[in-house]
Every structure is written in C-alpha cells, then in structure tokens.
Amino acid sequence: MFIAALGALLFLLPFIGIALRLPWMRLSEIFGDPETRAALWLSIRSSAMAAALSCFFGAPLAYVLARRAFPGRSVIRALMTLAMVLPPVVGGVALLFTFGRNGFVGARLDEWLGIRLPYSSAGVVLAQTFVAMPFVVVAVESALVRQDTRMEEAARTLGASPLTVLRRITIPTIRPALLAGAALAWARALGEFGATITFAGSFPGRTQTLPLLVYSTLDTDPGAALALSFVLLAVAVVVLGLLRDFWFAGMSDRGKG
C-alpha cells in the first residue's frame, strides 16, 4: 500500500510542480498569442490525422499479422516493436534518409509528383504516424490473437459472407482494442517531438507543433513553456479519461454479446 502510494506520487508530484509554477495571471496573454494558437491548432489537426491514418493502415495490418501465416510475418512484428522502442530522433533520421529529397522514396516523389514531405505539415503527420501506428497494430493484433475464432467459423458455416463476418463479428469484438490503440496512438502523436524536429523541422504555423514550441520557449519564456506543457497534459488527460470510460463500456458490451 505504502509502496503503491510512493509509485503514484512519482506521477502526481510533477503535475503539482507544474501547477505551482504556472503563471496563472498570464494565461490569457499566452493563449492569445498567434504563435501559440497556430501550434495548438497544428498539433490537434496533425495528431488527429496521424491517429486516423494509424487506424486505417494499422488495423488491416494487425488483422493480417494475427490471422494469416506468411513468410516475413515475424520480421514485420519485430519491426513494429522496434518502432515503439526506437528513439524518435532515430526514426526521424530514418525518415529523412527515406522520404527526404535525397532519399530513395523522397527523390521519386519529388521528381514524379512534385511532393516534398520534409518541412511540410504532411511531413509532421508522416513522422507522427510513424511513431504512433505500432500502438494500434499491437493493441488490435493482441485482441485478435486472444479472440475465439469459433464464432467467426460458426458464422461462416451458417452462410455468412467473409465481409459480413468481418463487419458483424470481427470488428465489433476488436472495437475496444481498436479504440484503446487509437487513443494511445493519438496521445503519442500529440506528444511527438524527436521525429518531427528531425524530419519536418520547426516553422511556426507549418511544422511547429506544441511540443516543439515548448522546447523553443523554454529558454526565452519558461512561464509560457510551462503553460503550454500544462495544456498538453490537460488535453491528453481529458481525452484519455473520456476514452477510458468508453473502453470499459465497450468491454462490458462484449460480455453481453
């Protein structure tokens, strides 16, 4: 009990630390600042986009990893885990060598389609998706692996088409896991710093997300940096809190189904 309390304190105290030093009087000034608003807005848009892309590509990938045996499956699984533990700066460097204008993909994108990802908002989304998608894949895959496949088989033997099975059985049963993965992916994307600064750089309104602005103002205006950090924390806590209720609701639904 005592040890548990100490453990909880480690996470509680920094919150109090920020709240104590927060320049409450200047909050409206800080959030009225166009640069802050631009960063906040960019962060919200890019992280939502990254979470959506992570689900769109991550869920099918998780399904294939869980249900189909194919050569190289363990390699892809390992890559997913690697991407989760990789220092984000290293991820950013890898993206730069791949999608940068001298990278083997980036050079062709530029030449054929005129698309340049570095230093663009799309580059921010790419960097965030890179670090966030594994969370969706891992969450959904582990749910699928644990899932009892007999229900799907039963539905098939009763004449349901593969699409109906997917839509009526598979997706509803993995929904809590998908939501959990999406929420983690979104939170990870919102806080993303290393890959973004390395691959997309930092320019107000275009690639300067909230974490980048926090870093940049830490030296010149620590009060503003604290306030912005607090916003990041608050947004994450509120959304994750809401989703948590939602997951637990989802879990109990499954019991009824």
Least Å distance, CB 203 to other proteins, is: 5
Of 142, 201, 236, 240, the one binding other proteins by CB under 8 A: 201
Least Å distance, CB 42 to other proteins, is: 14
C-beta separation of 225 from 141 below 8 A:
no
Q: Does 216 bind other proteins (CB under 8 A)?
A: yes
The dihedral formed by the CA atoms of 116, 119, 125 and 130, expressed in degrees to the nearest 10: 90
Nearest CA to 209 among 190, 183, 194, 231? 190
Alpha-carbon gap, residue 83 to 188, rounded angstroms: 12
Q: Does 96 bind other proteins (CB under 8 A)?
A: yes
Of 28, 74, 102, 157, the one binding other proteins by CB under 8 A: 102
Of 118, 134, 181, 250, the one binding other proteins by CB under 8 A: 118
Alpha-carbon gap, residue 119 to 200, rounded angstroms: 4
With CB under 8 A as the contact rule, which of the stretches 46-54, 145-153, 193-201, 235-243 interacts with other proteins?
193-201
> For residue 243, what are its two tokens?
């989703």
Nearest CA to 156 among 144, 171, 146, 169? 169
With CB under 8 A as the contact rule, which of the stretches 51-59, 174-182, 201-209, 244-252 interacts with other proteins?
201-209
Nearest CA to 235 among 192, 191, 197? 191
Alpha-carbon gap, residue 18 to 185, rounded angstroms: 25
> For residue 236, what are its two tokens?
């994450």
Q: Does 219 bind other proteins (CB under 8 A)?
A: yes
Of 27, 218, 235, 236, the one binding other proteins by CB under 8 A: 218
Burial class (CB in 10 A: 0-12, 13-18, 19+), 89: middle
Least Å distance, CB 189 to other proteins, is: 19
Of 31, 119, 230, 247, the one binding other proteins by CB under 8 A: 119
Of 26, 45, 77, 101, the one binding other proteins by CB under 8 A: 101
- Count of positions on this chain that bind other proteins (CB under 8 A): 20
Contact positions vs other proteins (CB under 8 A): 96, 100-102, 118-119, 197, 200-203, 207-208, 215-220, 222
